[in-house]
């Protein structure tokens, strides 16, 4: 069985929880047993902010993420890679943030271990990257 690997960003998870058309694209990845999904721990921060701002049950959404993906913790090497990525990307992408840089760092980490990996997103900041699985 040929597995496919995906790093899921916050944008994609929020659309998934909304049940939007974009979210259905992530839903199909989640339900396909040939896919392995990873969520950067930084996405949990953004998800908590989203839940608080929109009166959503954070624990329920976090439980769903835990059930359907591996939460990827960050280490010193990830922080260095994110800093390198941030310095490069902010020159060419308006409003490129540190969380975006950590998502790319996690993508690179997973890709080193498993091979070809895609970032599942609809976030415009990732539009220029050739490693995205675009749900927008």
**So where are the chain's domains?**
8-134
**pLDDT at residue 1 in the model:** 59
Q: Which of 59-63, 69-73, 88-92, 101-105 has the lowest mean pLDDT?
A: 88-92
**pLDDT at residue 28 in the model:** 96
8-134 to CATH, choices 3.40.50.1010, 3.50.50.60, 3.40.190.10, 3.40.50.10330: 3.40.50.1010
Give the pLDDT band of residue 13 (cuts 50, 70, 90).
very high
**pLDDT at residue 55 in the model:** 97
Q: 42-63, pLDDT tens digit by residue?
A: 999 999 999 999 999 999 999 9
Buried b or exposed e, range 117-135, using 16+ CB within 10 angstroms: bbbbbbbebbeebeebbbb
**pTM confidence score:** 0.94
Structure tokens at 55: 């009166």
Give the pLDDT band of residue 2 (cuts 50, 70, 90).
confident
Q: Are 52 and 59 in contact (CB under 8 A)?
A: no
3-state secondary structure 6-57: EEECHHHHHHHHHCCHHHHHHHHHHHCCCEEEEEEHHHHHHHHHHHHHHCCC
């Amino acid at each position: 069985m040929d597995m496919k690997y995906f790093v899921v960003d916050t944008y994609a998870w929020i659309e998934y929880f909304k049940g939007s058309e974009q979210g259905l694209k992530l839903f199909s990845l989640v339900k396909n047993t040939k896919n392995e999904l990873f969520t950067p721990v930084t996405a949990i921060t953004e998800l908590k902010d989203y839940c608080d701002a929109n009166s959503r049950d954070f624990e329920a959404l976090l439980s769903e993420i835990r059930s359907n993906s591996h939460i990827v913790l960050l280490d010193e090497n990830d922080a260095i890679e994110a800093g390198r990525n941030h310095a490069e990307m902010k020159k060419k992408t308006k409003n490129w943030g540190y969380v975006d840089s950590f998502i790319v760092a996690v993508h690179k980490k997973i890709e080193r271990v498993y091979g070809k990996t895609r970032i599942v997103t609809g976030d415009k900041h990732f539009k220029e990257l050739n490693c995205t699985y675009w749900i927008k």
